[in-house]
Chains A and B, each alone.
Chain A
Amino acid sequence: MIAAGSRRTMSLLGACLAVLFAVDGTCQEMADHKGHHGHHMAVTPAGVVMNENRHNLPRGCLEISRDYAFTIHAGRKYASDAPGMIFGMSQHEVKVEPCSRLEITFVNEDQVRHQWMVHGLPAYLYPAGMFHIEASGGQSMTGTFIVPGDDSTYLVHCDMAQHMEKGMRGQLVVGKGSGNLWNVTGISDEFYRPAYLPRSAGLIILLVTGLSFALAAWLLARQRPLSK
């Protein structure tokens, strides 16, 4: 278990990450203290865009290969075609070319907060490897970032309690990607997929086992003379 003191530091850092204004010294110090570069952020009453990057090319990219603009809607109604899901996004997969620039407009159609958060990006460009958009209920936020040049698949999710688990989990596929992530709504299966058996499954298993035992015993008994 992490010592509570460092937990608190991390939490304050987390708060910093969430609402940091580029000029705030305290957060910069804390981020440096933790060995991260400061996050680049823009905050409006409608929400947060963190680590926006319009111009800095990832290593290995000579130029921006292409510009994309995606509008991604979020909310309860986008989970409606997936049984057992509560929240969702209008698209749970974004496919782009390596070294391309993405302008994401995140439209929150619910009355509560939602997030579109990418993990695993190069930390030298995106502190903690994150690009993050948070939109308040009924609000829309736009942010831009540049993806690296390697074929890779990145996690996209909403980090509010249970929102990823209940449907807001997607992936960003750069180039050929690196294989589907698990549990991406509408794209890939659940890693721990429950059985969904009828409640009488125990009885069915018992009956079938009993029948197969009886049948096998009868067949074997018929063959007994052969063993002599």
Chain B
Amino acid sequence: MKRRWVLVLALVLAVVSFPPQWYPLSLKLKLTSWFGAADFRALPESVPVPAQQPQSFCPPDPEGWRARQTIEGVQIERSAPCVADNPYEVAAVVRGTNNVSQATLLKSGLAADAVEKGRDLDGDGDPDEIHIRLEVAELNGASALVKGPVTQYEIAPGIKPGLWVFAPKFVGMAVENFASRVARPDLRLPSPSIRIEQGDTVLITLENTHYMPHTIHLHGADHGFVDVSGEGNDGVPLTSEVPVMPGNARTYELQPRHAGTMFYHCHVQPHVHVMMGLQGLFIIEENRPNNWVQTLNIGAGQVRAPSVAQRENFDSEYDLHYLDLDKELGERVQQSNDPRVVTRSMHRDYDITDSTVDYFTLNGRSFPYTFRESLVVGEEDDRIRLHVVNGGSKGIALHTHGHKFTVTDRNGATLPEAARAPQDVVWLATSERADLSLQLINDGTNAYGPGIWLFHDHQYNGVTTDGIGPGGNISAIVYAQYMAENGWPKTQGVPWDNYFTEAFYRREIPVWESYAPGLFSDAGIDWLMLLRVIGLALAAGILAALLISILFRRSGTGAGT
């Protein structure tokens, strides 16, 4: 009766709706032998990509921070890329924040005791008593008052992983202004490079402004296990000392006998704390007369006031701090504002042995932001010093295009001449350092001539941001003639708008859209096919209902007829 007609209707619907491309092969061949191929039907149109609003590639420099200048008698070298360090900060840490004018200190944003420089103990014209104060700051952390991270810091467009950094002792707010949640520009990843002179008497006070315990371990630098008072000086909770609790301070001391490129990091739960960003370069410069070193290099990168020994052999000097980050680790500080919950989440729930790394930073940023501030810029025949550390959990295979560099020092020890063959890849395991000599001499070995030559980790994870490329730690060696006046390199490849767009790193923009619009865009939807599938689903539902009603009738529970 009625039910029979319903059955017929459902079967007809199923047959009509069934998509021909899903017919069994035998049926398809049979139909072809009768009627030939089906008529042409164009594939769906490409999905149009909404107009993007890329960020400014190259922010302006209204205060002239990029220019070569002399402040407080400190010669500060020109910084070629768009975004330069604050030269007043550089001057203040070269002279000592206790030795500069109030005006310079004011413009530096540093506390009066951020870097104190005292007596000249060996009478060679530079201070040998150095007292550095570091705080600990959380970037992109949680709040129970607002959604989204606070004290924000972007490593790439839209990418804000939870981070911990050692920070210079500033004064004032952690954010750029009263109405903003964005961190002040000098409160950033990586923790600052520290530079001292061989033989200096150095005090480093950790003022723990963070909500968890921390220490400082001077990895590779010549320091005693205990300080003069017998207190632990190695930063290791297991063997040396109780960590510095929130709100407390502790002073570490050292008087290193050898120069070299070393490392410093927190040693509390290091598999978590070091990987959150509590790590920095620690460089001991050779002793020279009148050697005022740039004690802090905020954000690493170019050393604007190189030491005497560096100036003897090199035209410019750069700190390159590589760090990989696990997105799932950084998220944990954003998921709760309760330190107890965060502590459990980071140290017990998180399992680094099951982890993967997602972000790859050079000097605290990923591509394309690396091009704003971490370009290595030189002229032909320049000799460039690169101090490289791999602070990440995985090795890096650092590769230079267009150049072969020489590794002169490894892990703070000078290599013999015989071991210094020109290389275009250097492997750096976790926490390894290398000092590279990069000579822009166009001889077919050292360099192949002027240009914009990439340098990057040649492991392919490293050139992506969470698997989206180009990203990661890509930067470039750029010759002066390839630099525009505003500090942006004169690239002659593809447009870069996509890379300065948050949506690109959210996987929303087809990778070649900017120069092949439509050609490789997302394929659209076949609406007829969707209609057929809906028809099939309708038929299936009706058939299922019929089946159930039959079963119910048989068991005597149905309503009948």
Which of A's residues lie within 8 Å of B, judged by CB? Answer: 1-5, 7-21, 24, 26-27, 43, 45, 48, 75-76, 83-84, 86-87, 110-113, 117, 119, 128-130, 134, 136-137, 159-166, 169, 182-183, 190-194
Within the assembled complex, what's the spacing in Å between the Cα atoms of A4 and B144?
28
Contact of B339 among A18, A166, A193 (CB under 8 A): A166
Stretch at the interface among B135-143, B235-243, B488-496: B135-143
Within the assembled complex, what's the spacing in Å between the Cα atoms of A10 and B249?
30
Closest to A25 in B: B103
Does B430 lie at the interface of the complex (its beta carbon under 8 Å from any beta carbon of A)? no
Contacts of A163 in B (CB 8 A): 209
Contacts of B103 in A (CB 8 A): 24, 26
Which of B's residues lie within 8 Å of A, judged by CB? Answer: 55-56, 59-63, 65, 83, 86, 102-103, 105-109, 111-113, 135, 137-139, 141-147, 150-151, 169-178, 180, 182-187, 207-211, 245-249, 336-341, 372
User: Is there an interface contact between A11 and B109, defined as CB atoms closer than 8 Å?
Assistant: yes
User: Is there an interface contact between B186 and A87, defined as CB atoms closer than 8 Å?
Assistant: no
Contacts of B112 in A (CB 8 A): 45
How distant is B65 from chain A, measured CB to nearest CB, in Å? 8
Closest to B339 in A: A86
User: Is there an interface contact between B209 and A161, defined as CB atoms closer than 8 Å?
Assistant: yes
Q: What are 7 A-B interface contacts by the 8 Å CB criterion?
A: A1-B55, A17-B173, A19-B102, A45-B112, A163-B209, A183-B144, A191-B144
User: Is there an interface contact between A15 and B107, defined as CB atoms closer than 8 Å?
Assistant: yes
Of residues B109, B177, B372, which shows the largest number of chain A Cβ atoms within 10 Å of its Cβ? B177
User: Is there an interface contact between A5 and B60, defined as CB atoms closer than 8 Å?
Assistant: yes
Query: Apart from A111-B248, A112-B247, what are 19 other A-B pairs with CB-CB below 8 Å?
Result: A7-B176, A8-B59, A14-B175, A14-B177, A16-B106, A19-B105, A19-B109, A19-B171, A21-B102, A24-B102, A76-B245, A130-B178, A161-B187, A165-B337, A169-B145, A183-B144, A194-B336, A194-B338, A194-B341
User: Is there an interface contact between A12 and B107, defined as CB atoms closer than 8 Å?
Assistant: yes
User: Is there an interface contact between B247 and A75, defined as CB atoms closer than 8 Å?
Assistant: yes
Within the assembled complex, what's the spacing in Å between the Cα atoms of A51 and B176?
19
Contact of A84 among B59, B173, B339 (CB under 8 A): B339
Contact of B246 among A20, A87, A182 (CB under 8 A): A87
Whether A137 touches B249, Cβ cut-off 8 Å, given contacts A3-B59, A14-B173, is: yes
Closest to A86 in B: B211
Within the assembled complex, what's the spacing in Å between the Cα atoms of A165 and B144?
7
Of residues B142, B143, B372, which shows the largest number of chain A Cβ atoms within 10 Å of its Cβ? B143
User: Is there an interface contact between A113 and B102, defined as CB atoms closer than 8 Å?
Assistant: no
How distant is B465 from chain A, measured CB to nearest CB, in Å? 17
Closest to A8 in B: B185
Within the assembled complex, what's the spacing in Å between the Cα atoms of A169 and B337?
14
User: Is there an interface contact between A10 and B209, defined as CB atoms closer than 8 Å?
Assistant: no
Those 10 A-B pairs whose CB atoms lie nearest each other, nearest first: A18-B172, A4-B59, A15-B109, A110-B247, A76-B247, A111-B249, A5-B60, A190-B144, A86-B211, A161-B137
Within the assembled complex, what's the spacing in Å between the Cα atoms of A2 and B113?
32
User: Is there an interface contact between A165 and B249, defined as CB atoms closer than 8 Å?
Assistant: no
Within the assembled complex, what's the spacing in Å between the Cα atoms of A11 and B107?
10
Within the assembled complex, what's the spacing in Å between the Cα atoms of A18 and B110?
10
User: Is there an interface contact between B141 and A165, defined as CB atoms closer than 8 Å?
Assistant: yes
* Interface residues of B, dominant DSSP: loop
Within the assembled complex, what's the spacing in Å between the Cα atoms of A77 and B108?
32
Contact of A7 among B111, B113, B185 (CB under 8 A): B185
User: Is there an interface contact between A18 and B173, defined as CB atoms closer than 8 Å?
Assistant: yes
Contacts of A183 in B (CB 8 A): 144-145
Within the assembled complex, what's the spacing in Å between the Cα atoms of A27 and B246?
33
Whether A162 touches B138, Cβ cut-off 8 Å, given contacts A10-B177, A112-B249, is: yes
Whether A112 touches B207, Cβ cut-off 8 Å, given contacts A27-B106, A161-B151, is: yes
Of residues B103, B180, B211, which shows the largest number of chain A Cβ atoms within 10 Å of its Cβ? B211
Contacts of A3 in B (CB 8 A): 56, 59-60
Of residues B142, B169, B171, which shows the largest number of chain A Cβ atoms within 10 Å of its Cβ? B171
User: Is there an interface contact between B60 and A134, defined as CB atoms closer than 8 Å?
Assistant: no
Contacts of B187 in A (CB 8 A): 161
Contacts of B56 in A (CB 8 A): 3-4
How distant is A190 from chain B, measured CB to nearest CB, in Å? 4
Within the assembled complex, what's the spacing in Å between the Cα atoms of A117 and B62?
29
Contacts of A9 in B (CB 8 A): 62-63
Whether A166 touches B249, Cβ cut-off 8 Å, given contacts A4-B59, A190-B144, A190-B337, is: no
User: Is there an interface contact between A15 and B249, defined as CB atoms closer than 8 Å?
Assistant: no
Whether A162 touches B211, Cβ cut-off 8 Å, given contacts A12-B63, A15-B108, A194-B338, is: yes
Contact of B172 among A7, A83, A134 (CB under 8 A): A134
Contacts of A193 in B (CB 8 A): 144
User: Is there an interface contact between B182 and A2, defined as CB atoms closer than 8 Å?
Assistant: yes
Contacts of B55 in A (CB 8 A): 1
Closest to B185 in A: A11
How distant is B146 from chain A, measured CB to nearest CB, in Å? 8
User: Is there an interface contact between A86 and B246, defined as CB atoms closer than 8 Å?
Assistant: yes
How distant is B299 from chain A, measured CB to nearest CB, in Å? 13
How distant is B309 from chain A, measured CB to nearest CB, in Å? 32
Within the assembled complex, what's the spacing in Å between the Cα atoms of A4 and B473?
21
Contacts of A110 in B (CB 8 A): 247-248
Contacts of A15 in B (CB 8 A): 106-109, 170-172, 184
How distant is B241 from chain A, measured CB to nearest CB, in Å? 15
User: Is there an interface contact between A20 and B106, defined as CB atoms closer than 8 Å?
Assistant: yes
Within the assembled complex, what's the spacing in Å between the Cα atoms of A194 and B61?
43
Contacts of A12 in B (CB 8 A): 63, 86, 107, 109
User: Is there an interface contact between A192 and B147, defined as CB atoms closer than 8 Å?
Assistant: yes
Closest to A13 in B: B177
How distant is B401 from chain A, measured CB to nearest CB, in Å? 27
Contacts of A137 in B (CB 8 A): 207, 249
Within the assembled complex, what's the spacing in Å between the Cα atoms of A26 and B249?
34
Contacts of A45 in B (CB 8 A): 112-113
Whether A159 touches B175, Cβ cut-off 8 Å, given contacts A9-B62, A14-B109, A76-B245, is: yes
Within the assembled complex, what's the spacing in Å between the Cα atoms of A190 and B341?
15
User: Is there an interface contact between A5 and B139, defined as CB atoms closer than 8 Å?
Assistant: no
Contacts of B65 in A (CB 8 A): 8
Contact of A192 among B61, B144, B182 (CB under 8 A): B144
User: Is there an interface contact between B209 and A113, defined as CB atoms closer than 8 Å?
Assistant: yes
Contacts of A192 in B (CB 8 A): 143-145, 147, 337
Contacts of A14 in B (CB 8 A): 109, 172-173, 175-177, 184
Within the assembled complex, what's the spacing in Å between the Cα atoms of A51 and B208?
28
How distant is A148 from chain B, measured CB to nearest CB, in Å? 18
Within the assembled complex, what's the spacing in Å between the Cα atoms of A14 and B172?
7
Contacts of A191 in B (CB 8 A): 144-146
Within the assembled complex, what's the spacing in Å between the Cα atoms of A137 and B108?
21
Contact of A165 among B113, B142, B245 (CB under 8 A): B142
